[in-house]
Chains A and B, each alone.
Chain A
Amino acid sequence: GNSVTQMEGPVTLSEEAFLTINCTYTATGYPSLFWYVQYPGEGLQLLLKATKADDKGSNKGFEATYRKETTSFHLEKGSVQVSDSAVYFCALSGGSNYKLTFGKGTLLTVNP
């Protein structure tokens, strides 16, 4: 079956530091890949997505590239801000009903 493995947290960084959160997946066929973010007290929000190999998703300074050869979708940001503090979830969907398979989530705390 499908599975997602992402870097366990928590991750604590200083403002303006570089961020990488690793995500690898196992899936049959050609899944779509997502990063969702959950800010404190809020629901999950789609951060970015990629639907095929070599696609790069980007939003709010975050980027992730769909790497089929390494089955990876690592999240990166060049300079994090305090407001980026949240839980980040890597996910994939495959099949006709688009149901999502998630990783365990990574708690990011950015200190001023």
Chain B
Amino acid sequence: EAGVTQFPSHSVIEKGQTVTLRCDPISGHDNLYWYRRVMGKEIKFLLHFVKESKQDESGMPNNRFLAERTGGTYSTLKVQPAELEDSGVYFCASSQGPIQYFGAGTRLSVL
């Protein structure tokens, strides 16, 4: 069975540009989470989907971040416009219960 897949693995963009990260969860998992790790700091929760609905978006830093989950399958996280402080590793996880399964992450570098 395929695990959680994230695209791209690494993205380098300039400040002010737009970037879209994608996450494909494990098939059949209703729960999908986004997390972010800024260098040297904790991995922090961004938001949680249950199927296509946003259950908790309390961790989203500001309105430059937009997450969607089309049809309850894959999810995208768009950053527009990107700022320097958005650099970090963005992780996606999915679950069908209390155990979350993580992707390898997308490393975002904003120059």
Q: Does A62 contact B (CB under 8 A)?
A: no
Q: A residues bordering B, Cβ < 8 Å?
A: 4, 32, 36, 41-46, 49, 51, 89, 91, 93, 97-105
User: Roughly how many angstroms separate A32 CA and B104 CA in the complex, as a whole number?
Assistant: 23
Chain B residue with minimal CB distance to A42?
B104
Residue among B4, B6, B37, B97 with the highest chain A CB neighbour number at 10 A: B37
Q: B residues bordering A, Cβ < 8 Å?
A: 3-4, 6, 31, 33, 35, 37, 40-45, 48, 50, 55-56, 59, 91, 93, 95, 97-105
Main secondary structure, interface of B, reads: strand
User: Roughly how many angstroms separate A103 CA and B44 CA in the complex, as a whole number?
Assistant: 9
Chain B residue with minimal CB distance to A101?
B45
Q: Name the distance in Å between A33's Cβ and chain B's nearest Cβ.
A: 11
Residues in A with CB closer than 8 Å to B33 are: 99-100
Q: Name the distance in Å between A103's Cβ and chain B's nearest Cβ.
A: 6
User: Roughly how many angstroms separate A5 CA and B40 CA in the complex, as a whole number?
Assistant: 14
**B3 and A43: CB pair below 8 A?**
yes
Residues in B with CB closer than 8 Å to A103 are: 42
**B102 and A36: CB pair below 8 A?**
yes
User: Roughly how many angstroms separate A32 CA and B98 CA in the complex, as a whole number?
Assistant: 9
